[in-house]
Amino acid sequence: GRRTDEVNALLEENFKAIDDIFNDLAAKTGLPLQQVSHAYHKARGCIHSGFNHWNTYGHYLKVNREQELQRLGNIEVADAAQITPAIRAECYKAFRAAFPDSWQEILETFEQVEVRSVGPQTVSQRTQEFSKVWRKV
């Protein structure tokens, strides 16, 4: 439901304290405030970028089919065979296990490279892509 004015005031007061802590950390570390915030949320497993890693992995799998299927070891998938959702899920699981600390970054970087290599974009598409990269910085 709706928050009361008292709850909103308490939140605002404490958000200011959090802002002060983050600003202090940024000053002490020399890191930009956004990077301090991102590091905090990443360390706590609270990053919700709206980025769909599963969908990006599907494209990554198409581009790196042989390499990704090799991660599964003894699975037999013919070159022309369609990768089923179950096989895709196993490949995704193996990919994440192979890169436990960096799998998300790998997929996000892959997506950025793929988007840039597509060719001409509208101004709106370029603006949207710039905004995605800017938020990461």
| pLDDT tens digits for range 71-120 | 988 766 655 578 889 899 999 999 999 999 899 889 988 988 886 666 66
Q: Side chain identity at 89, as an amino acid letter?
A: A
Distance between CA atoms of 99 and 102, rounded to whole angstroms?
5
Q: Is the whole-model pTM more than 0.75? A: no
Residue 76 has what pLDDT? Answer: 65
Read off the pLDDT band of 33 (50, 70, 90).
Answer: confident
Top pLDDT among 91 and 137 is at: 91
137: tokens are 């910085």
Asked if residue 90 lies in contact with residue 40, where contact means CB atoms within 8 angstroms, the answer is no
Residue 102, classed as helix, strand or coil, is: coil
> pLDDT of 49-80, one tens digit each?
667 889 999 999 999 998 999 998 876 665 55
**What are the contacts of 24-33 at 24+ separation with CB within 8 A?**
32/137
Task: Tell me what pLDDT residue 108 has.
Answer: 86
Coil vs helix vs strand at 39: helix
Can you give the pLDDT at residue 41?
81
CB contact at 8 A, 110 and 53: no
Q: How would you classify residue 28: left for phi > 0, otherwise alpha for psi between -120 and 50, otherwise beta?
A: alpha
Q: Whose CA is closest to 79, among 66, 60, 89, 92?
A: 66
Half-sphere exposure of 55 (CA within 13 A, CB side): 4
